[in-house]
Structure 1
Amino acid sequence: MDYGQIAAAILAAVSAGGIAYALFYPRLSGQARAEQRRREFAAPAAIRAAADREAQSQARRGQVAQSLKDIENREKARHKVTIEGRIEQAGLSWSRKQYWLLGVVLGIVMAVVLLLTSGNWVVMLVGFVVGLLGLPRWYLSHLGKKRMMRFINEFPNALDVIVRGIKSGLPLNDCLRIIANEAQEPVKSEFRLIVEAQTLGLPLTDAATKLYERMPCAEANFFGIVLAIQQKTGGNLAETLANLSRVIRERRKMRDKIKSVSMEAKASAAIIGSLPPAVAGLVYLTSPGYMDALFYTDAGRIALVGCGVWMLIGVLVMRKMINFQI
């Protein structure tokens, strides 16, 4: 027999054996079954991991939604402001007794002045009610708005101090103490109250939430919401507060821009609203008898009341047109 044929036959047999080994050995040895079992186990594990991540994401969203809902409920409960709350918002240290004493004094003064000028007991009674209930409330509201504007202007600087302190490694409580000692009023006193509330054992989120009760503006509310959400869900507090500071500054820029744009309309409304009483006063000074019919006849009094009502409606409409809420 030729050796070439023998070698070819041997090579053919070896090749056939190698092919058969490659095709049938995994099945015979169980490797294919093991690989299939690994794939079967790996697929449910990936599915379970994806389901766990989705469940964690939903839980995080649920915590955020619950935090916002709790804050909204607290805001609804605080909608009615008491006299003590108004005094605290104005930055005064009055008691309820002092408030009502001031109201009584103002009411008596207004009643006496109107009685001496008009001689009408009804007008005197109206003046007493206005002095008792209206003037003290208006005074507290005026002081509260001025104090709130100072707080809004200084609050972004306080947030920047917190952001820089956190980035440098200081705890949040130490940053709050720095603001309570070195910031401008009224931010200084408000953060001092937050620090004192923490010292007494109140959680930081509750202490920050009470800031909105003393300073009912959107900026203080945002600060409380940020701290409440960060405590429950975690995250980068420095970055969040930096974004809040930027938003507050942009809101102030928008407010100033709207104020400058609407100044012409406000001046026009003031001139239009002051023309009728100014003209009536000048006519009365130059020719007193010319307007006697308006004060001493029934038709004149009805005309005065009607003109006053229409003027009030016009002033309120113009005020609504030129005031913008941000």
Structure 2
Amino acid sequence: MRTRLLGALLGIATAVLPGVAFAGGGPSANVDSVQVSPGHVSFVLTTANLTGTPATKTVRVVAGRTALAARMTQVGRSTATTAPPRAVVIVLDTSGSMAGSGIAAARQAALTYLASLPADVQAGLVTFSDKPQLAVGPTTNRALVRNALARVRATGNTALYDAVRTAVATLYAARLGPSAQRRLVVLSDGVDTSSKANLLAVTRALATSRVPADVVAFRYGNGDASAAQQIASAAGGRTLAAQSSGQLTAAFAAVARNFTARAKVDVTVPDALAGRRVTLLVKVGSVSTAVPVTLAAIKPPPAPGQVPAVPVRQPVTSWQLLALLAGVFLIVVLAVVLLRWQGSREDTARRLVQQVGRYGPRRDEHQPTAEEGAAARTAVGLVEQVLRSTGAEQGLALRLDLADVKRKPAEWALLVFCGGTALAVALLLLGVDRLLCLPIGLVAGWMAQRIFLSVRIGRRRAAFGEQLPDVLQLIVGSLRSGFSFAQAVDAVVRDGTQPAAGEFSRALAETRIGVPLEDGLNHVADRMQCEDLRWVVMATRIQREVGGNLAEVLTNTVDTMRERAQTRRHVRALSAEGRLSGYIIVGLPIVLGGWLTFSKPQYMSPLFTTPLGVMMVAAGVGLIIVGGFWIRALIKVEA
């Protein structure tokens, strides 16, 4: 009963006083993008619901009781980008009740509204009938919105609530920032009939997001206008009534005054207020706003004949330098200890897994693998053709085999290319020149995979050299038990200690195609760059030609190798101090120079902005490189 009475009163009001707003919003002003400099303050002034533009009004700026000289100029789209962005979404009713003259009047009013918006305001369009539809997202390109308005057709029911929720989501999907000014303009000619959302959910969404909605009630009769009023009042909007196309255009013109053109205000600050924190009262037309500002201090000019004071840099005291050196030393030591501890943990865990695996069930070598897609097979095939045509496939396959990487050359090259492309995209997002992103990414990816494979190859060769004395000891035991040399090598392969077992299995595989075992072992020595294994092969060949006890020869060889290893470790321990000193001496100028560059750029800038400074930097880099090689030559001992 209450709803019907309200609708009847609304119908009487619109008939007697057409074009009267149900709820209004008064003029307002806002200040943002404040910039302070000695003797000057500038800011961007934004007004709403003010007749005319701010630049056509007289602005007054008062700080306490002191009136300040101010000059206001209208800003364009490029200048206004320093202020928070502004956006509006037009929510247009295209239900069947708008057919004919109604949709034509709504289209014309919306076009007039777009023409009156300032150029920096982003406008979007959401239409709704049976369900809402996003026609154009918020954009400053007015042609897109005009073309979308030309294509609207009236048909179906009215999903007003769903359309309002879609418009709010569209504003926040545009990612305008937390300080952006967002608003909705809703045109509807009747109550909701087909929305999935209810009125309470819509008003809560508007209140939570703080998006005001101005509702234009077009040709409302005895219908329920309470929903329009609740939508408008949820976040500070207003409701306007229109019964004809002229009133509809006038209503849209009134709503358009929410976005008046911005103006830049330049204020001259007297010397008496310099350095003080004041509240600027800005008055334009009938509205005013206040903003607290800390004014910049003005440095007095030097007296005649007085030399401007140059700030004296405090010298670094001895204890500060000692503290810096101690910090760098502790960081280097901690990094070395952590890396060594992590490597020892990984090696211990790997050895334990291998030892336990010898006594457990054999792993199924025919495990199911993931099925490759057609796109992956095509990409791998293309990369494989490129590698074969350039002759790089064989070399890459050899490096992957030495590094024990279970990937085909084409697959590895494709992974490196994808990683380089991902790095190029990251550099592009960080603002690097688009012409340099892809070359930098591909070169960095190639260098990273090169270093990765080199490190793995070096570790695998070092592990082989450490395992070789134990492997030879096993061969000696097999020979003394009555096995032949080939059977003893087969026992090493069956022992399964990697990488020695895998490499010796290659030698056995070559013997099956007619290659002598000594030649196969020599090939393994070449692959692993193991000089000790070459001596073992040479001793084996001499024993085969002149005769003798091979087990005794290998026993002497093992003893010699272990003594050499012990001597090598002893020398490495004695040279540890020199190596650590080399790391600190080489790294200290780099770390200290980087720290000074970031902490005191004005102190280091002459090194990069003057010819003499650039020459000094180049000479310093050259001396660091020479010193690094010199220290390496001093501490390098052949064992």
Query: What TM-score comes out, normalization by structure 1 length?
Result: 0.65
Determine which structure has more spread, i.e. the larger CA radius of gyration: 2
Say whether the 8 Å CA contact 1:209–1:224 is kept in structure 2.
yes
**Corresponding residue for 2:44?**
none
1:202 matches 2:202 = no
Q: What are the residue-to-residue correspondences of 1:71-82 with 2, within 5 Å?
A: 82=395
Which residue among 289, 293, 310 is the counterpart of 2:602? 289
State the identity %. 26
CA pair 254-105 structure 1, distance change in 2 beyond 3 A:
farther
Deviations 1:139-164 (A, max 9, x none): 22211121122111211111111111
CA pair 286-133 structure 1, distance change in 2 beyond 3 A:
same
Say whether the 8 Å CA contact 1:108–1:131 is kept in structure 2.
no
**Corresponding residue for 1:300?**
613
1:236 matches 2:522 = no
**Corresponding residue for 1:147?**
460
CA positional deviation for 1:100: 4.0
Q: What are the residue-to-residue correspondences of 1:62-211 with 2, within 5 Å?
A: 82-101=395-414, 104=417, 131=444, 134-211=447-524
More strand per residue: 2
Return structure 1 stretches of 4+ with deviation > 6 angstroms. 109-118, 120-126
**Corresponding residue for 2:134?**
none
**Corresponding residue for 2:559?**
246
Which residue among 580, 584, 589 is the counterpart of 1:276? 589
CA pair 310-225 structure 1, distance change in 2 beyond 3 A:
same
Taking the aligned partners of 1:189 and 1:111, their CA distance within structure 2 comes to 38
- Figure out how many residues of one structure are paired with residues of the other and give that number: 246
CA positional deviation for 1:227: 2.7
1:223 matches 2:536 = yes
CA pair 115-273 structure 1, distance change in 2 beyond 3 A:
farther
Say whether the 8 Å CA contact 2:421–2:438 is kept in structure 1.
no
Deviations 1:124-181 (A, max 9, x none): 7995685355433322221112112211121111111111111121122221111101
Query: What TM-score comes out, normalization by structure 2 length?
Result: 0.35
Q: Which amino acid aligns with 1:185?
A: Q
Taking the aligned partners of 1:100 and 1:253, their CA distance within structure 2 comes to 41
CA pair 118-220 structure 1, distance change in 2 beyond 3 A:
farther
Deviations 1:225-265 (A, max 9, x none): 22333333333211111111111111110110011000011
Say whether the 8 Å CA contact 2:403–2:460 is kept in structure 1.
yes
**Corresponding residue for 1:69?**
none
CA pair 229-93 structure 1, distance change in 2 beyond 3 A:
farther
Say whether the 8 Å CA contact 1:88–1:214 is kept in structure 2.
no
**Corresponding residue for 2:579?**
266
**Corresponding residue for 1:20?**
none
Say whether the 8 Å CA contact 1:99–1:136 is kept in structure 2.
no
Unaligned runs of 5+ in 1: 1-80
Which residue among 319, 323, 326 is the counterpart of 2:632? 319
Taking the aligned partners of 1:312 and 1:102, their CA distance within structure 2 comes to 34
For the aligned residues, what is the CA RMSD? Answer: 3.1
Q: Which amino acid aligns with 2:471?
A: A
Unaligned runs of 5+ in 2: 1-393
CA positional deviation for 1:98: 4.2
Structure 1 SS opposite 2:463? helix
More helix per residue: 1
CA positional deviation for 1:267: 0.9
